[in-house]
Structure 1
């Protein structure tokens, strides 16, 4: 008595609208998780806490990065995630002289003097923080020498750390997102000298 006939037009119209709504919700769901910001922050902190020259790289699953002296943010299609760094770092922009040092060049080759290097470090620490396109990987390099103790962090291609490493040593480390490795070869090779 209160049944709707299945061939009534309004039943088919209602079913079509409901199907479109379910399809719209299903297609708007993210297809990937938010970036692993905590893992990236842990990699950076491991480099920053060493007592000697160290490098590490970690692949990124992000399209944008926001890096400050004490915080990192990563963003992709699924959303954004942020983490606090335990130790202060120097955010490095791609294409700068600091980026050359980050990717393995000695500071003395990239800068005319130690004072110029220290000014660039201070300027990078005080620069405003904003979202930038992310590279394939994040790279961290801790430099310790004659009172200098600085950790440079920036993004770039996944293979940017290949070739010449810290103090001119060979560096073939490429790391997976879940297994970052530290390159301490410069310290170990120079320990007996």
Structure 2
């Protein structure tokens, strides 16, 4: 009556191992979902697709951002989220270029993104187009993400550019 059933011992050991394994898997799952790159892409596309100059902002819950002329990537505690941009090519404007930089024009693009008219930041539409072209050629490396992403479609002469930064 008080004998130990061998099958019951193995069943309890198996149950204990499964419980430990389940707890280990649950501990490795992220605490939050990956950042919403598709929502940011929708904001960018809605500004870029419009026929008129426009401006929009989108809050970011990410620690890093990667912008190219055709995609956006966001990295956070919950993982990485990517989205393709469907509208016209964008011009990524990296942060940290607030000072005027005559060699590449990214500092002036940053000022235009922040609200300065392009005619005040650039001598002519050709200089504006050259700076935008240079900004699109900069590598799409991971950079620290700001709290808010700004999107601005700008027309200067015959040049139409969507700045994102």
TM-score class, shorter-chain normalisation, is 0.7 to 0.9
Deviations 1:72-91 (A, max 9, x none): 11111221121111120000
Are 2:77 and 1:77 equivalent residues in the alignment?
yes
Are 2:54 and 1:54 equivalent residues in the alignment?
yes
- The equivalent of 1:3 in structure 2 is 5
Native 8 Å contact 1:54 1:141 kept in 2: yes
Deviations 1:141-190 (A, max 9, x none): 00123211000001xxxxxxxxxxxxxxxxxxxxxxxxxxxxxxxxxxxx
Are 2:110 and 1:99 equivalent residues in the alignment?
yes
Aligned to 1:66, the other structure's residue is in SS state strand
- The equivalent of 1:158 in structure 2 is none
* Counterpart-to-counterpart distance in 2, 1:63 and 1:41: 17
Native 8 Å contact 1:51 1:144 kept in 2: no
* Counterpart-to-counterpart distance in 2, 1:29 and 1:35: 15
Moved more, 20-29 or 64-73: 20-29
Deviation at 1:22, TM superposition (A): 3.6
Aligned to 1:104, the other structure's residue is in SS state coil
* Counterpart-to-counterpart distance in 2, 1:120 and 1:146: 15
* Counterpart-to-counterpart distance in 1, 2:133 and 2:110: 14
Deviation at 1:95, TM superposition (A): 2.5
The equivalent position to 2:127 in structure 1, one of 87, 101, 116, is 116
Aligned to 2:35, the other structure's residue is in SS state coil
Native 8 Å contact 2:48 2:162 kept in 1: yes
* Counterpart-to-counterpart distance in 2, 1:82 and 1:120: 26
Structure 1, unmatched stretches of 5+, are 155-193
Listed as ranges, the matches of 1:1-193 within 5 Å are 3=5, 15=16, 20-86=20-86, 87-96=88-97, 97=107, 98-154=109-165
Deviation at 1:34, TM superposition (A): 1.1
- CA RMSD across the alignment: 2.5
Q: State the 4+ residue runs in structure 1 displaced beyond 4 angstroms.
A: 17-20
* Counterpart-to-counterpart distance in 2, 1:122 and 1:134: 23
Aligned to 2:39, the other structure's residue is in SS state helix
Aligned to 2:127, the other structure's residue is in SS state helix
